[in-house]
Amino acid sequence: MDLLIKNATLTDGRTGIDIACDKGKIVAVEPSITVEAGQMIEAAGCLVSPPFVDPHFHMDATLSLGRPRLNQSGTLLEGISLWGELRAEQTVEDIAERAMKFCDLAVSMGIGAIRSHVDTGDDPLMGVEALLHVQDRVKDYLDLQLVAFPQDGVFRTANGWENVVRALDRGVNVVGGIPHFERTMADGARSVRALCELAAERGLPVDMHCDESDDPMSRHVETLAYETNRLGLHGRVAGSHLTSMHSMDSYYVSKLIPLMAEAELAAIPNPLINIMIQGKHDTYPKRRGMTRVPELKAAGIKVGFGSDCVMDPWYSLGRADMLDVASMGLHVAQLCSRDDMAWCFDAVTGNAAKILGLDGYGVAPGCDANLVVLQARDRIEAVRLRATRLYVIRRGKIISQTPASVATLDLPDRPAALDPAHYP
Ligand code: FE2
């Protein structure tokens, strides 16, 4: 046996569980396994989960903060224009180097899979070239899906459509789009139709930035659900952001959500970015711009939380911490019950993995031995503490370790050490 983890707590609440891994796979998950193993981890009751999954990211823009300048207004539109300035000055090597640095960070934070949009707006397709290279370079320790993302709109720019097709020809995995950024609502709807047809022809999934605005009349998700149904793309299509749904009339939403469920559309809110960027044009009260997560969830729609950005033209913070994303999602969507809080952990692990269609994901015999040992006793505690990733395991091998977070105290008549995972 290559690896034996002793005394784990699992996300379903089982405790005192041992996990045996061999040849990259989990071979047994049960109490009291006694077997010789090359490596052993004493989990001591800590939570052992499959890895975090980030279903929405922009790896071509990450870690570019301040280049060539900062976003002064904090709006989506200034971010897009700032990205245009950066795009004009960067190189393939530069994009790849930043992306590789981010992948290092992501692995250390227990992320095992990322779906990254890659801008296809520049004719040389530098981001595509860089991220295809990175995808290959990291494949042994990180699953990277790439979405052909026409940041400036497929119909708004001269080569918008051709560049998406060229990116897919080069091996990008998913068809993207940005209907709310096309010139008109009609062009937006036309882009959804054309891109879904392209995905149907090529047998690819779809993941569109959809209705990322506070405009309640931005209803491209309706067209996305319609086209998904018409073309039989059920289960292969995701709508990212969907922030306009926050501002829509509730009667309209009562019709929209069942349409989305019928199409088996997945929803990918990005809580950190949505709470920072939406409502910027409001005075008070300011809309919070998060899509209707409790209602989507109640309708049986797959919802995964994405991080979207780390230190780029749109968001100057972030550290690849999917528990930070889960925590923000929990708060903004007011997911207050214990079940809902635990579900927020699932939104950055199992639910996101389902949206990406990952095979072999989970903690069960036969699954890939991809695991994270967290300094927490359960899913809610992991979110509450943004728990330290004690061990990150890929195909049965430890690929990252972080020391436990323990404070040393020097106080009269008080304990000498405080472990946040066991406090109180
Ligand atoms: Fe995005």
How many A from CA of 23 to the centre of ligand 1?
Answer: 36
Q: Are 196 and 233 in contact (CB under 8 A)?
A: yes
**In this model, does residue 223 exceed pLDDT 80?**
yes
Q: How confident is the model at residue 74 (pLDDT cuts 50, 70, 90)?
A: confident
How many A from CA of 254 to the centre of ligand 1?
Answer: 26
Residue with tokens 């789009």: 177
Domain 3-50+362-409+417-422 has CATH 3.40.1390.30: no
* Whole-structure pTM value: 0.97
How many A from CA of 40 to the centre of ligand 1?
Answer: 39
How many A from CA of 358 to the centre of ligand 1?
Answer: 20
Residue with tokens 């050490």: 417
E strands, 132-257, in order: 143-149, 174-175, 206-210, 237-241
Residue ranges of the chain assigned to CATH 3.20.20.140: 52-356
Phi-psi region of 287 (alpha: psi -120 to 50; beta: other; left: phi over 0): beta
- 3-state SS, residue 206: strand
Three-point CA angle 289, 378, 411, nearest 5°: 100
Nearest alpha-carbon partner for 217 in 267, 262, 179, 269: 179
How many A from CA of 57 to the centre of ligand 1?
Answer: 6
How many A from CA of 16 to the centre of ligand 1?
Answer: 40
Please state the rounded mean pLDDT for residues 274-292.
92
- Strand-pairing partners, residue 145, are 115
**In this model, does residue 420 exceed pLDDT 80?**
no
pLDDT tens sequence across 303-335 = 999 999 999 999 999 999 999 999 999 999 999
How many A from CA of 282 to the centre of ligand 1?
Answer: 21
Residue ranges of the chain assigned to CATH 2.30.40.10: 3-50+362-409+417-422
Q: How far apart are alpha carbons 321 and 118 in whole angstroms?
A: 21
Neighbours of 7 (CB within 10 A): 18
Nearest alpha-carbon partner for 309 in 331, 330, 296, 324: 324
Is 129 assigned a catalytic role?
no
Phi-psi region of 386 (alpha: psi -120 to 50; beta: other; left: phi over 0): left
Q: How far apart are alpha carbons 113 and 373 in whole angstroms?
A: 16
What's the pLDDT score for residue 418? 86
Query: What's the chain's average pLDDT?
Result: 96
**In this model, does residue 77 exceed pLDDT 90?**
no
CATH of domain 52-356: 3.20.20.140
Which is catalytic among the residues 182, 212, 222, 381?
Answer: 212
H or E stretch covering 275: helix 271-277
